[in-house]
């Protein structure tokens, strides 16, 4: 198996990429370099994992031919430029969410990808874990039947201390609020299980913290398959939970409630009757445990790079999540229902910034 060399840029969540995504797979990845503008962080993480190559220069890593993968874990406002630069340098690229802060930006990335030597994998690590992957297998096997209704809740807590980091809470640097930074994960999980959205009505508000971007949001979706889904998220919940509850004709699914691990077991998978249960047992009876989050997403990425499987998360997936955010913002600003697809004609296509009233 060929070992790919990785440079991690940004050592906040970048540390979790190392711990969960790369260290468990020494036969697949070696973190060769780290980059951060914060020297103290750079030295702490470098010492912790014995990584010799430490730099404050992103450009230096792009020019380094011994690095295969550039893993971007910097603040959101930097992602677009860094992704484009890394693709132009011929690297494979991993990028934290949000990939960028507008559909225009994603479309530029999609264009750049067409001419790139390397592949780009956005991060959506919540898709991985026993609970969500069992649900996905049951839905894909056609057992769940007609989707009726879904409820998706991202109830997290973020206080003033969290927003003391200068890039957070601002349109310019965070790019959006709870919809973009926190609830994007659960919304991606729902889209992954319930399919594409047809129409959106949404409202956003800033009620918890003194910040520019929203920290509460609610949306009502009509899915293309006719199902109705409600999204609800806040950064002011005194008990942090993440929860999806999806009702299909033959099966009701409810995720586990761990705020940052809703993909893990135990999921409630409730069959309508014994015959449905027998079909479920058939498809998940021989279940082999899958590691949650980055551990599995990065393993699949390595398989893809070695020609052994599909790219686990694509720019198209990131675009779909960003399109939903765009529709919710547009609906909240205009008071109107928004039909998808959202394209260049949308007033929110190029930027999400709130309308000045
Ligand atoms: N997937 C997840 O569950 C998850 C969780 C947390 C954060 N994130 C995402 O990861 C990104 C980073 O968030 P964070 O919480 O780690 O932020 P953070 O502020 O803790 O860390 C970002 C790091 O990037 C460094 N940095 C900034 N500009 C840089 C540059 N030009 N070159 C090199 N380093 C630079 C900073 O010094 C800082 O150490 C954001 O996009 C965020 O939304 C994702």
CATH number for the domain that contains residue 9? 3.40.50.720
Ligand 1 neighbourhood includes 78 CB (under 6 angstroms): yes
Check if 263 has its Cβ closer than 6 Å to any atom of ligand 1: no
Ligand 1 mutation pick, 9, 11, 13, max ligand atoms within 8 A of CB: 13
| pLDDT tier for residue 354 given thresholds of 50, 70 and 90 | low
Domain for residue 348, yes or no? no
Beta bridge mates, 202: 219
Categorize the per-residue pLDDT at 357 as very low, low, confident or very high, splitting at 50, 70 and 90.
very low
Distance 74 CA to ligand 1 centre (A): 4
pLDDT 10s digits, 2-29:
999 999 999 999 999 999 999 999 999 9
262 CA to centre of ligand 1 in angstroms: 22
Kindly state whether residue 63 falls inside one of the protein's structural domains. yes
By percentage, how much of the chain surpasses pLDDT 90? 98
141 and 217 together in one domain = yes
Query: What mean pLDDT is reported for the chain?
Result: 97
Q: Is the CB of 118 under 6 A from ligand 1?
A: no
Instruction: State whether the beta carbon of 13 lies less than 6 angstroms from ligand 1.
Output: yes
Q: Are residues 212 and 285 in the same domain?
A: yes
Q: What is the mean pLDDT of residues 310-328?
A: 98
Same domain, 198 and 229: yes
Ligand 1, residue 167: give the atom nearest the CA. Answer: 19
Q: What's the CATH number where 270 sits?
A: 3.30.360.10
Domain range for 307: 4-125+298-313
Question: Do residues 172 and 236 share a domain?
Answer: yes
**Are residues 169 and 211 in contact, defined by beta-carbon separation less than 8 angstroms?**
yes
- Can you give the pLDDT at residue 1? 74
Cβ atoms within 10 Å of 246's Cβ, excluding its own: 24
Distances, alpha carbon 270 to alpha carbons 108, 152, 246, in Å = 43, 18, 11
User: How many domains, in total, are found in the chain?
Assistant: 2
Q: Using the atom order of ligand 1, give the atom closest to the CA of residue 14.
A: 16
The sign of the CA dihedral 111, 8, 188, 336 is negative
CA–centroid distance, residue 117 to ligand 1 (Å): 26
Clarify whether residues 77 and 167 are in a common domain.
no
Shortest-distance atom of ligand 1 to CA 260: 3
Assess if residue 245 is contained within a domain: yes
> Does the beta carbon of 12 sit less than 6 angstroms from any atom of ligand 1?
yes
278, 201: one domain: yes
Same domain, 110 and 137: no
Question: Per-residue pLDDT for 355 more than 70?
Answer: no
pLDDT at 342: 97
Report how far ligand 1's centroid is from the alpha carbon of 100 (Å): 13
Ligand 1 site, residue 73, Cβ cutoff 6 A: yes
- Binding site membership of 123 for ligand 1 (Cβ less than 6 Å): yes
Same domain? 221 vs 306:
no
Residue 238 inside a domain? The answer is yes
Does residue 344 lie within any of the structural domains?
no
Atom of ligand 1 nearest to the CA of 124: 1
pLDDT at 273 over 90: yes
């Amino acid at each position: 198996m060929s070992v790919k060399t990785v440079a991690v840029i940004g050592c906040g969540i970048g540390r979790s990429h190392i711990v969960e995504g790369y260290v468990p797979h020494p036969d697949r990845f070696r973190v060769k370099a780290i980059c951060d503008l914060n020297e103290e962080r750079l030295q702490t993480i470098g010492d912790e994992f014995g990584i010799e190559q430490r730099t404050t220069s992103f450009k230096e890593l792009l020019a380094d031919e011994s690095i295969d993968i550039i893993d971007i874990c910097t603040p959101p406002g930097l992602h677009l430029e860094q992704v484009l630069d890394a693709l132009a340098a011929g690297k494979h690229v991993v990028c934290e969410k949000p990939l960028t802060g507008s559909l225009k930006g994603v479309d530029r990335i999609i264009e750049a990808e067409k001419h790139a030597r390397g592949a780009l994998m956005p991060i959506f690590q919540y898709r991985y874990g026993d609970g969500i992957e069992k649900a996905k297998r049951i839905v894909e096997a056609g057992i769940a039947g007609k989707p009726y209704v879904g409820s998706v809740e991202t109830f997290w807590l973020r206080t003033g201390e969290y927003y003391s980091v200068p890039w957070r809470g601002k349109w310019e640097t965070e790019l959006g609020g709870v919809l973009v930074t926190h609830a994007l994960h659960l919304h991606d999980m729902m889209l992954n299980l319930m399919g594409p959205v047809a129409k959106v009505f949404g409202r956003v508000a800033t009620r918890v913290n003194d910040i520019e971007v929203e920290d509460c949001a609610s949306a009502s979706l009509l899915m293309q398959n006719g199902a109705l889904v409600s999204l609800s998220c806040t950064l002011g919940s005194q008990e942090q939970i993440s929860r999806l509850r999806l009702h299909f004709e033959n099966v009701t699914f409810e995720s586990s409630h761990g705020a940052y691990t809703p993909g893990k077991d135990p999921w409630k998978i409730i069959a309508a009757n014994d015959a449905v249960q027998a079909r479920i047992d058939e498809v998940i009876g021989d279940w082999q445990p899958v590691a949650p989050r980055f551990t599995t997403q990065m393993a699949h990425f390595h398989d893809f790079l070695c020609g052994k499987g599909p790219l686990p998360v694509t720019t198209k997936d990131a675009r779909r999540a960003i399109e939903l955010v765009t529709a919710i913002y547009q609906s909240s600003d205009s008071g109107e229902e928004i039909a998808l697809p959202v394209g260049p004609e949308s007033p929110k296509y190029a930027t999400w910034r709130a309308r000045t009233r």
